[in-house]
Copies of this chain bind each other. A is one copy, B any other.
Amino acid sequence: MPRQLRTPAGVKSANGRGPGSTRRLPILSDVAHEAAVSLTTASRALDPDSTHPVADRTRARILAVAARLAYRPNPMARALRTRRVPTIAIVVHDISDPYFAEIVRGATAAASARGFLTVVCSSDRDPMTELQYVEMLCLSRVSGVIFAGGGLDEAQYRQRMSGYARSIAHYGGAIVALAPRSEHWPAEVPANRTGARLVTEHLLSLGHVRIAMISGPSTLFTSRERELGYLGAMKAAGVEPRIERADFTIAGGADATARLLSAGPPTAMFVASDTMALGALAEMRRRGIGVPSYVSVAGFDDIPGLEFIDPRLTTVHVPMAELGAAGVARLLRHLDDGDLNTRTNHHPVQLVVRESTGRPREVSLY
């Protein structure tokens, strides 16, 4: 349809498609036409970060028309030109896990404040699913991708991931990690090692010697960092470490606890995430084992809702929402100012002692 014959915006369309139909959204040419300027000038006046000069009177006129028509630029048309959609993606391992839900909450709030939409991709802890999502994101030309979960140390995964990352960098997209990864990406991560050290030292100071750790998969960098803190504190105290592995889920935490209890049960357990600690607590209850009377349990993350489980869990507070917001801020610094710094910022964590840890039991369990 030639431009001239098009029904102008703000005028009821002649062939209204029934009662639900309404006027079409105004486009740039509507504004330009009404303000009696060219498309170019209208575009420049409306673009907040255009450096091209526009006469004050002209600009004022254009802005007035735009406001009256409630004009908003079409993001797709703009994206086609600028080669990037105003969307930020956040890739998480499991959106149902309160840890990731909190990060997403912080990130979406920060992103929407800047006019960015946030896409959430939850892989349900399957690396292949995660890679598929990243491929989709890459094809969609999202402005940036935030990886909330830790990376995997597995050849094929790393290779495909770095291929996508290169592709994203190629079209000018930004990448930020909120957990440790092998890739050298800009990162905003919690002080995992320090936190693990603090919590282990807390258990040691209570008099525990047989302190086991329930960690995540050995291929996950987050597991490794938390193990490092635990191992360091154990070594410094001259006591023997013991690591059992799970998959960062509640059920996994329960299973690992069962294994730990059936072979020389420890007097204290440091669980690498609160979610797994919930599973540990459930397994204890199922077996009638008192916490902390028989076994002390400490978690990591300080997820919301912890005040409602019994006993209240000793853990390491990670500023999840702030981490999400910091990730978005970092991403925007790349997009806005071309900041390509790949420094890793460590966010401080804090030991929160509650009711699930206490002095070691006097009697043996068996």
Contact = CB atoms under 8 A, between A and B. Distances in A.
Nearest to A133: B112
Contacts of A21: 166, 169-170
Interface string A73-84: 011110110000
A98 B96 contact: yes
B75 A139 contact: yes
A338 interface: no
Interface in A88-102: 89, 94-96, 98, 101-102
A104 interface: yes
Identical chains bound together, number = 2
Interface stretch (A38-46, A116-124, A193-201): A116-124
Given A120-B104, A132-B112, A166 B20 contact: yes
A250 B108 CA distance: 22
A95 B103 CA distance: 10
Interface of A: 17, 20-22, 24-25, 72, 74-77, 79-80, 85-87, 89, 94-96, 98, 101-102, 104-105, 108-109, 112, 115, 117-122, 124, 132-133, 136-137, 139-141, 166-167, 169-171, 250, 278-279, 281-282, 285, 304-305, 307-310
21 contacts: A17-B170, A21-B170, A25-B167, A25-B170, A74-B141, A76-B141, A87-B119, A89-B117, A95-B101, A95-B105, A96-B102, A104-B120, A105-B124, A108-B120, A109-B124, A112-B133, A117-B119, A117-B121, A118-B120, A118-B121, A281-B308
